[in-house]
Amino acid sequence: MRYALRRTGFFLLTLWAALTLNFLLPRLMPGNPAVAMMSKYRNLSPHALLVMENLFGVNSKEGMWGQYLSYLHDLATGNLGTSLSEYPASVTQVISNAIWWTTGLVGVATVIAFVLGTGLGIVSAWRRGSKLDSIIPPVFVVTSAVPYFLIAMILVLLFADTWHIFPNDKAYYVTTDTPGLNLTFIQDVINHAFLPALSLIITTIGTWILTMRNTMITTLAEDYVRMARAKGLPGWRIMLDYAARNAILPNLTGFAMSLGFVVSGAILIEDVFDYPGVGYMLLQAVSSEDYALMQGLFLLITVAVLVAILIADLLTAFLDPRTRAAG
């Protein structure tokens, strides 16, 4: 319980740090570019204008401290300002459209990468020194050094532009599809998500394999595994029920730490595929100098990562009595 409380406390602290960073960044930068942008908002209501002023620190009558408090109040009430590129839509509206694409893509790709990667890690550690085990580390050395977007571009080149198996951009056929619960639309969505998901799986699977393999090697040396061998249990039971079962928790914690990389991978992959998720939106907001949308998306991504880490932490505490005892 103390462990869970401490992790929650750390989550709140990090959340506060991220919110404050988001508040300070436009004010710290020399020649705040948001000032120029603010002049483009002509038809904004006085209240919406005030929200934007607090967001960027532009010709506000309140002092720095007052701006900070209003900014936190706006965030608490879900008011992230008005988007310039999607005017007059609010930032919250724009984000709520994009978020589902990213959640779907990253969620499915992460589950597949987790299952495949953990499985490969288990087998690789179990057959240490085998062909599979000798291939994986060098392959991981190379994939850890390849930029995420290059993998996506190579997949586009092969599967979309050369062999024409999958479409090369967007989340569905924008001109012919009618979004909704019809079969063609669902098929097209899966078709379009295939290559981005595959890119994300290739970029993230190495971490899963390697952390699982390394913890599994440690657990295989434990006495209870030797005991199981001595009892004459079948190999697959020792591998799954004795060694893998105890090795999987550190893999979960490792996931929390590598989430930042998953996010940066997703941003770059969405950019290559013009996939209309949060990362693509963020880059669109940057190139159209829509700073309110940009900051809203940054906050959303950061909060999502922090919440995921908190969940992984609490799950670890729930599943592993040792962390609870260590408090």
Least CB distance from residue 280 to another protein, whole Å?
10
Distance between CA atoms of residues 193 and 187, nearest Å? 10
* CB count in 10 Å sphere of residue 182: 11
For residue 251, CA distances in Å to 85, 211, 257 come to: 41, 6, 10
SS3 state of residue 82: strand
Instruction: Report in angstroms how near the CB of residue 259 gets to another protein at its nearest.
Output: 7
The least CB distance from residue 67 to another protein, in Å, is: 17
Query: What is the rounded (10 degree) CA torsion for 71, 74, 75, 80?
Result: -100
Instruction: In angstroms, give the least distance from the CB of 260 to another protein.
Output: 4
Residue 21 to residue 191: CA distance in whole angstroms: 39
CB of 39 to another protein, least distance (A): 17
Q: Using CB under 8 A, list all residues that contact another protein.
A: 10, 13-14, 17-18, 21, 25-26, 29, 32-33, 128-129, 134, 137, 141-142, 144-150, 153-154, 156-157, 161, 168, 257, 259-260, 263-264, 267-268, 271-272, 282-283, 286-287, 289, 291, 294-295, 297-298, 301-302, 305-306, 309
What's the helix, strand, coil split of the chain in %, to 5? 75, 0, 25
Of the pair 60, 168, the CB lying nearest another protein is at 168
Q: Which residue's CB is nearer to another protein, number 247 or number 301? A: 301
**Of 51 and 285, which has the nearer Cβ to another protein?**
285
Enumerate residues 6+ apart whose C-beta is below 8 A from 57: 26, 27, 32, 34, 64, 67
Q: Output 148 or 242, the one with its CB closest to another protein.
A: 148
Q: What is the 8-class DSSP label of residue 166?
A: S
Does a cis peptide bond (omega within 30 degrees of 0) precede residue 88? Answer: yes
* 179 vs 260, beta carbon nearer another protein: 260
d(CA 300, CA 129): 44
Q: How far is the CB of 78 from another protein (least distance, A)?
A: 20
Query: 């988007």: which residue's tokens?
Result: 83
Smallest distance from another protein to CB 143, Å: 9
> Measured from the CB atom, is 92 or 168 closer to another protein?
168
Closer CB to another protein, 21 or 111, in the complex: 21
Pick 45 or 218: Cβ nearer another protein: 218
Distance of CA 255 to the CA centre of its chain: 11
Instruction: Please return the burial class of 262, using the count of CB atoms within 10 Å of its CB with bins 0-12, 13-18 and 19+.
Output: buried
Least separation, in Å, of the C-beta of 181 and another protein? 32
